[in-house]
Structure 1
Amino acid sequence: MDAALDKKPASGGLEAEIANRRTFAIISHPDAGKTTLTEKILYFGGAIRLAGQVRARGERRRTQSDWMAIEQQRGISVTSSVMTFERDGVTFNLLDTPGHEDFSEDTYRTLTAVDSAVMVIDAAKGIEAQTLKLFEVCRLRDVPIITYINKVDREGRDPFELMDEISEKLALDVSPVTWPVGMGTQFKGCFNLRDNTFLKPSREGAGGFEEEIRVNGVMDPKVAELVGDETLLETFRSEADLATSACSPMDIEAYREGHLTPVFFGSALRDFCVSDLLDGLAAFAPPPRMQPAEPEPVDPAEEKVTAFVFKVQANMDPNHRDRIAFTRICSGRFKRGMRLNQIGTGKTMAIQAPIFFFAQDRDIAEEAYPGDILGIPNHGTLRVGDTLSERTDVKVTGLPRFAPEIMRRVRTGDPMKVKQVRRALHDLSEEGLAQVFKTRFGSDWIVGVVGALQLDVMADRIKAEYKVEIGFEASPYSAARWIHGPKDKVEEFIAKNSAQIGDDNDDSPVYLAKSAWELNYTAERWPDLTFGQTKELV
């Protein structure tokens, strides 16, 4: 059994276990190096013995976090996965999120389950569009950010220019922790400004770092020997002096409040500053935090267990048609076999076979603490947004569903397999991969997604997992909005517009508008109603 999965019952008390948890996500624009950094974090955390490469051949191409066939084929992450490992007495729960913008809703829900995030930035490109969007999501939830500026061993932008961009675009103070000694062809290693260690490359132009060498500051003569080039040495010393004097000093409170970001310059591919990043997460990142809930936030130190489902994944193991609810523990000490209330349904369920994750691999969880992510096998009982608790008076909040931006009609190739198609659409809609609306007038299924790539993934998964082929064709609708308002007005509206009413997976009524103009016109005609772009998951 992998060491990452060998989680024995802990001996510490609840508060000690909470203090030693770090639950974080990695966010980035596509191709910034997120998947490579994820693997190297697992490698330096002792969770895997060989760090694979996304673009390598054969088995090594199958990264630890990208387990779905389409992810392996395209070299992208399209679903969230969880990896748990321990390092130096700290339990890390790493939630790897989709990098592609077409899966931003899955990413948003994943970010509701973390206490901090690592933002990966390409040193040559700086802050890109998807990075900015994901950062804004983190800001909405007050998730503190550590920045990892990747690929400094390649030609890139000036380090100060990159930090100025972070400061200006994200309105964050920056506090550099590691600094590149040259970049691109002049790259000589990295320097940790906090503990005065020099990360020396194994050889010119190739390989990772050979060793960490402790020195007495940047002016130590040993640094001159390690750098070699006099001009580069002078530039590095000047930059390091300016970085420490002009930039903000590390302030853990300011970081955890979302005002400051520690910055690590490094190269995930060549192993530079990945271990430093892990040390930074252990030292700076907050332990499990209060979770938004009604009637009041859930305190991790509360003795009664409360948890919420932020993701459902069907068919992680297609041979067993499994359905796993990814569940974040918010408070209390969870023990296998506990009976928890499923808030909203009035039912209780015994959690007999909870699991810890390591991407697609898993192991039975005997117990878990706040910040831990459990997988709960179920057959449609649990849904995204569900709260599980020993209490009966609490509901975790803040998991919205967003109105789709692309609408397509489902086309089935074989009319004899309508039942399989219905089941597949229902399952994938509950996962959050897409939204499915059943029109009341006629018998169409309308699929709504954020980005076109979701349609490709949906068709690919239905073919692979349900053995049926589907296609998509133009839909007469361009927008879907949830209908809210006085019951009599909602019923009147639905009766008068039945040809453009559908039901979502929760049987909530949805107005299917044919154009933005029609949507605005309808909203003006029905001032007592609200046509919502979001819907709180219940």
Structure 2
Amino acid sequence: MHSLNLGILAHVDAGKTSLTERLLHTVGIIDEIGSVDDGSTQTDSLALERQRGITIKSAVVSFEIDDVTVNLIDTPGHPDFIAEVERVLSVLDGAVLVISAVEGVQAQTRVLMRTLRRLRIPTLVFVNKIDRRGADTDRVLRGVAERLTPAIVPMGTARGLGTRDARTVPHAGFTTGMLDVLSAHDDDLLASYVEDGTVPYARLRAALAEQTGRSLVHPVFFGSAMTGAGVDALVSGVRELLPTAAGHPAGPVSGTVFKVERGPAGEKIAYARLFSGTVRTRDVLTFGDFSDPGDTGDSGDSGDAGGDGGRGGCRGGGRRQGKVTAVSVFESGAARPRTSVAAGRIGKLWGLGDIRIGDTVGVPREHVEEFSHTRPAGRHHFSPPTLETVVDPARPADRGALHTALTQLAEQDPLIDLRHDPVRREISVSLYGEVQKEVVQATLADEFGLDVGFRETTTICVERPAGSGEAVEFNGKDANPFLATVGLRVDPAPAGAGVRFRLEVELGGMPYAFFKAVEDTVREALGQGIHGWQVTDCTVTMTHSGYSPRQSHAHQGFDKSMSSTGADFRGLTPLVLMAALRQAGTRVYEPMHRFRLEAPADTLGALLPALAALRAVPRTTRTHGTACVLEGAVPAARVHELEQRLPGLTSGEGELEAAFDHYAPVGRGAVPERPRTDHNPLNRKEYLLNVTRRVGG
């Protein structure tokens, strides 16, 4: 059996989960189709998902099409849960992007398609809801061609739009539209047409499958998840046009963890897609962060457009090991207990207590020959959370339980970036939006019995070095209480570069563990810069190193007071790093969203002053007919206010798309400060009192 790991993606309410139900019914996995409104779907299994009628967590369900086992992954559509989608992208062989035939291309549709194309994930488009009043497939096709990609091939036409009798008529032969799109990447097709006046449909279909598999073109299907119209054609398209999973079961073990949940007894269960090799019960697996110890490279990727500011880059953790105690493999509609999971499949693994979302299992995928030219799995594809709020328990006595509960939620969604301030006894989390805040609140109440409230949501900024700076402290000199020599230089790097750590000293000059302690501490300490924000887009170079060799008494006992340990380097590094950073200086940058606003042209006079008041900067303004379209940038902190004011400014006819784009320098007013949650290495005396309980010298 071949395998195909298929993602279902869409803007919220496009009918993604309903399509999943219809697919399961069509292939015979379920006898009765569940309803999102009734909370009876297969993939929305959380009580909160059933109550709210939205997908919050990704879910896997499996079925067979001929000789192919399809692992179908239903993902959230709401932008507040984009982190769930990001984790799924790393395991997909193909995708179906669902678009409503009524609403057409929406904000999240554009974000998803840009990412799918950039990652070269083969994608089919399914235009859903052709039975709904207002359905217009011609308008949707124009929108797809103009706002997503012109490389589309309609696989049929829709009839009876807007009625329960709506149906699709597939193209069963040669069409000039298909030839035009495919010949852009295949000169032989065009030559054959010029010579013979036609091209055999079988040849066109083969070219379509080949170019779809390379993500050059995107077949478009029409149908209705509610009535089942067009779904058979989509199933055939999945089988014939999307490539199956690569990877050899006998190769080196390589996989990635895209989901972690806890079982009834609180045990961790990891969802892993294997690219190579086979994992068996009782295997001891190595997993975690597999960056090169000699040059750790980027801590983050460039994000969707303009960088993620390196958030999440200080995650650390390194390589870890665990013994697999149980395995389940997705097949025939559910996860089935098995003794092993092989390349190309998705499995649930028990026994790996230290496993985290995003961990590489075995060797990195790019180290396997078949995947050596593919994009590494552990990169950020979407924007980081740009909002933060403090979570307060209704009862002060629940503060410890709240920390434990949020820690478990952070295991399932690392981007909430839990921060604990022991001085103020505050716990804060990062968020994408207000809906996510409501879900966190409901989850804490339903699963942990905790009643919580939230303080005002604030914007998460970042710091970048304004120049270069360096500092050094020598072992045994200048009131240095640590048995270590550390010298560091901080240099600015291009926007989106993240954090890089390099050595200008000999790697053999002291034990590697001490270099690793410095690097790990640098990444951790950069979580809070001069103004308390995470520092990103910089290169930190170690310029000096030194240590006290291991000393022993006459009886050969280890004398820790005379010998360097990793704790000496971990203690000294923040002081040196902050001294270098202070010399370099930093600037605070706030997140900016790109926006596209479409509204009646006669409302432009009211819109422009309102945008200016929100510090939004329109870069382009154009009109078509009675509508105007403004595109530009707006501070992330003002997006929610713009959404609230838009209906009143546009008589309810304005449409806003907004997504993270870049970080911009905070230009006016006081520089925003973030309270520190560390031992404050900016204040040497306070830091040493906290770290060593004594002041050096």
TM-score bracket, normalised by the shorter chain, equals 0.7 to 0.9
2:260 is equivalent to residue 312 of structure 1: yes
1:9-68 CA-partner distances (Å, limit 9, x unpaired): xxxxxxxx4xx1111101111111111100011111222121112224xxxx32100011
2:73 maps to a residue whose letter is: L
Residue of 135, 145, 162 corresponding to 1:184: 162
Query: Which residue number corresponds to residue 31 of structure 2?
Result: 49
Mapped contact 2:322–2:354 kept (Cα < 8 A): no
Residues 338-487 of structure 1: pairs in structure 2 closer than 5 A: 338-344=283-289, 345-357=318-330, 362-378=335-351, 380-389=353-362, 397-400=377-380, 402-432=383-413, 434-439=416-421, 442-474=424-456, 477-481=458-462, 487=488
Query: Which residue number corresponds to residue 152 of structure 1?
Result: 130
CA separation in 1, counterparts of 2:387 and 2:288? 32
Relative distance call for 1:48 and 1:258 in structure 2 (3 A) is: same
% identical equivalent positions: 27
CA separation in 2, counterparts of 1:126 and 1:459? 32
Point out the structure with max Rg over C-alpha.
2
Query: Which residue number corresponds to residue 231 of structure 2?
Result: 274
Residues 527-538 of structure 1: pairs in structure 2 closer than 5 A: none
Relative distance call for 1:440 and 1:55 in structure 2 (3 A) is: closer
Deviation at 1:342, TM superposition (A): 2.0
CA separation in 1, counterparts of 2:360 and 2:523? 30
SS of 1:354 mapped into structure 2? strand
1:500 maps to a residue whose letter is: G
- The farther-off stretch of 401-410 and 183-192 is 183-192
Relative distance call for 1:274 and 1:146 in structure 2 (3 A) is: same
Query: Which residue number corresponds to residue 209 of structure 1?
Result: none
TM-score when normalising by structure 1: 0.72
CA separation in 1, counterparts of 2:112 and 2:178? 28
| Higher-RCO chain (CA-CA 8 Å, sequence separation at least 6) | 1
Relative distance call for 1:283 and 1:452 in structure 2 (3 A) is: same
Mapped contact 1:307–1:330 kept (Cα < 8 A): yes
Deviation at 1:187, TM superposition (A): 4.2
Query: Which residue number corresponds to residue 276 of structure 2?
Result: 331
1:214-270 CA-partner distances (Å, limit 9, x unpaired): xxxxxxxxxxxxxxxxxxxxxxxxxx9776677655412221222211111111100
CA separation in 1, counterparts of 2:344 and 2:49? 27
2:95 is equivalent to residue 117 of structure 1: yes
CA separation in 2, counterparts of 1:140 and 1:134? 10
Query: Which residue number corresponds to residue 512 of structure 2?
Result: none
SS of 2:391 mapped into structure 1? strand
SS of 2:77 mapped into structure 1? coil
Deviation at 1:362, TM superposition (A): 3.6
Residue of 248, 255, 262 corresponding to 2:219: 262
CA separation in 2, counterparts of 1:244 and 1:520? 47
1:438 maps to a residue whose letter is: H
Mapped contact 1:500–1:513 kept (Cα < 8 A): no
Relative distance call for 1:495 and 1:109 in structure 2 (3 A) is: closer
Deviation at 1:186, TM superposition (A): 8.6
Query: Which residue number corresponds to residue 203 of structure 1?
Result: none
2:432 maps to a residue whose letter is: V
Query: Which residue number corresponds to residue 146 of structure 2?
Result: 168
Deviation at 1:117, TM superposition (A): 0.6
SS of 1:63 mapped into structure 2? coil
CA separation in 2, counterparts of 1:394 and 1:405? 33
CA separation in 1, counterparts of 2:179 and 2:524? 66
Relative distance call for 1:254 and 1:494 in structure 2 (3 A) is: closer
Deviation at 1:192, TM superposition (A): 2.4
CA separation in 2, counterparts of 1:193 and 1:112? 33
Mapped contact 1:334–1:369 kept (Cα < 8 A): yes
CA separation in 1, counterparts of 2:364 and 2:278? 14
CA separation in 2, counterparts of 1:277 and 1:430? 36
CA separation in 2, counterparts of 1:191 and 1:332? 43
SS of 1:47 mapped into structure 2? coil
Mapped contact 1:176–1:247 kept (Cα < 8 A): no
2:209 maps to a residue whose letter is: I
2:358 maps to a residue whose letter is: G
SS of 2:326 mapped into structure 1? coil
1:326 maps to a residue whose letter is: Y
Relative distance call for 1:491 and 1:69 in structure 2 (3 A) is: closer
Residues 62-141 of structure 1: pairs in structure 2 closer than 5 A: 62-141=40-119
1:331-389 CA-partner distances (Å, limit 9, x unpaired): 12333333222244444322221223589964313332333211223574100121111
Relative distance call for 1:176 and 1:514 in structure 2 (3 A) is: closer
Relative distance call for 1:134 and 1:515 in structure 2 (3 A) is: closer
2:378 maps to a residue whose letter is: G
Deviation at 1:501, TM superposition (A): 5.5
2:254 maps to a residue whose letter is: T
Mapped contact 2:526–2:534 kept (Cα < 8 A): no
CA separation in 2, counterparts of 1:111 and 1:398? 10
| C-alpha RMSD of matched pairs (Å) | 3.8
Deviation at 1:160, TM superposition (A): 3.4
SS of 1:190 mapped into structure 2? strand
Relative distance call for 1:306 and 1:412 in structure 2 (3 A) is: same
CA separation in 2, counterparts of 1:496 and 1:463? 31
1:82 maps to a residue whose letter is: V
Residues 512-523 of structure 1: pairs in structure 2 closer than 5 A: 520=665
SS of 1:459 mapped into structure 2? helix
Relative distance call for 1:403 and 1:188 in structure 2 (3 A) is: closer
2:235 maps to a residue whose letter is: L
Mapped contact 1:182–1:189 kept (Cα < 8 A): yes
SS of 1:342 mapped into structure 2? strand
CA separation in 2, counterparts of 1:492 and 1:325? 26
Deviation at 1:167, TM superposition (A): 2.1
CA separation in 1, counterparts of 2:534 and 2:147? 40
Deviation at 1:460, TM superposition (A): 1.3
CA separation in 2, counterparts of 1:352 and 1:493? 36
Deviation at 1:115, TM superposition (A): 1.2
CA separation in 2, counterparts of 1:286 and 1:163? 25
Query: Which residue number corresponds to residue 38 of structure 1?
Result: 20
1:252 maps to a residue whose letter is: A
1:330 maps to a residue whose letter is: F
Mapped contact 1:479–1:513 kept (Cα < 8 A): no
SS of 2:226 mapped into structure 1? coil
Gaps of at least 5 residues in structure 1 are: 1-16, 196-239, 290-298, 523-538
Mapped contact 2:61–2:333 kept (Cα < 8 A): no
CA separation in 2, counterparts of 1:495 and 1:308? 26
Deviation at 1:479, TM superposition (A): 1.1
CA separation in 1, counterparts of 2:129 and 2:534? 48
CA separation in 1, counterparts of 2:395 and 2:462? 31
SS of 1:167 mapped into structure 2? helix
Q: How many residues align?
A: 441
2:43 maps to a residue whose letter is: S
Relative distance call for 1:393 and 1:141 in structure 2 (3 A) is: closer
Relative distance call for 1:492 and 1:385 in structure 2 (3 A) is: closer
SS of 2:104 mapped into structure 1? coil
